[in-house]
Amino acid sequence: MSVSGFTDLREKLKAMTPHREEPRSGGEKRRRRPPSDEEEEDEEEARVREREHESEARKVKRGITQARVFTAEECARIEAEIDEVVARAERGLYREHTVDRAPLRNKYFFGEGYTYGPRLERRGPGQERLYSKGEVDEIPAWVHELVISRLVARGLIPEGFVDSAVINDYQPGGCIVSHVDPIHIFERPIVSVSFFSDSALCFGCKFQFRPIRVSEPVLSVPVRRGSVTVLSGYAADDITHCIRPQDIKERRAVIILRKTRPNAPRLDTSLLSPSISPPPERRHKLKAKRSHRKADPDAAHRPRVLEMDKEEQRLSLSSRQNRHENSGSENSWRRMEASSLYKHSHHAHADTPSRQVKMRRH
């Protein structure tokens, strides 16, 4: 027994905190408040959304085929060819519509190219148009030899299927917003081959900008270096796919192989305004200049935001004009008031010429 009368420190602490409730016995638990009708409805809606999400993800998966086709050595050889494409574009050796530049992502069209995004004559899905024949360069021989032939041999695509090859070259943080490859332009399947690094292909995302934000995907599919991803059915036609900025951590390139439809609409160049052809000695310089021209970051990825920008600029200009007009009115009123005071002063002292008023400059 200690001086304080307690033999156990726990008894002393218990005596010092008499307000603490006694622990409940064995299986006794605190009763939960029964959920309200609104809470039950919210929980039921959440369960329904989750089931729909899972169902859609299953439908997407059924339309995806993936295969690891290229070894590290084969990837390195193909990547060297992609680097050569980039170098040729920098030297201005491709036709005007072969190269399409955007921040952190460049596109190189071969075989067939098409208008999209801000390059559309009319905005909206279904307005995409193929360029006239010869507007983009032919598919390089190395794409046929090193890539397409391997996929044909593996049975992933039939012989003679590909007439359009696009190389997307992404820098870290690059992206391509949610979209569906134009159904009226391209047949299915859509085939892509990944190089330089691993990434992910996401389905069903929504993009927001300033700053850029991307919603959670319905499904995120890993895409490995040297792997082939084939989209068909629901995955190709009924849900959008995208590349998110957070999924491009290193440089990545993808070769997209597609077949254009025989009846795909083409851009009617006869409706374009005629232009004077430059002399032959200047054509090469103009090509180089155009190939180096960089697209506006917003125009490349989000044409709708451009319309919002125009409205903001219009409102800002209107606001500045109003402020200018108000300022002008106020200055005019002050000038009138000063003039009135001067006239009044001059009239009051017209009979006293000996009196002079000195004006100080401030």
pLDDT of res. 126: 85
Mean pLDDT check: name the lowest of 87-91, 163-167, 340-344: 340-344
pLDDT of res. 88: 98
Q: Which domain holds residue 254?
A: 53-260
Q: Is the pLDDT confidence value at 292 over 50?
A: no
Mean pLDDT check: name the lowest of 158-167, 192-201, 284-293: 284-293
- Structural domain includes residue 291: no
pLDDT of res. 296: 42
Q: Is the pLDDT confidence value at 345 over 80?
A: no
* Catalytic residue (one of 94, 108, 114, 170): 114
- Structural domain includes residue 163: yes
pLDDT of res. 268: 78
- Structural domain includes residue 284: no
170 is catalytic: no
Q: Is the pLDDT confidence value at 111 over 60?
A: yes
- Can you tell me the mean pLDDT for 291-311? 40
pLDDT of res. 35: 72
Q: pLDDT > 90: what percent of the chain?
A: 55
- 8 A C-beta contact, residue 74 and residue 228: no
- Structural domain includes residue 270: no
Tokens of 25: 């016995």
- Structural domain includes residue 112: yes
Residue 198: which CATH number?
2.60.120.590
- Structural domain includes residue 9: no
Per the structure, the count of domains in the chain is: 1
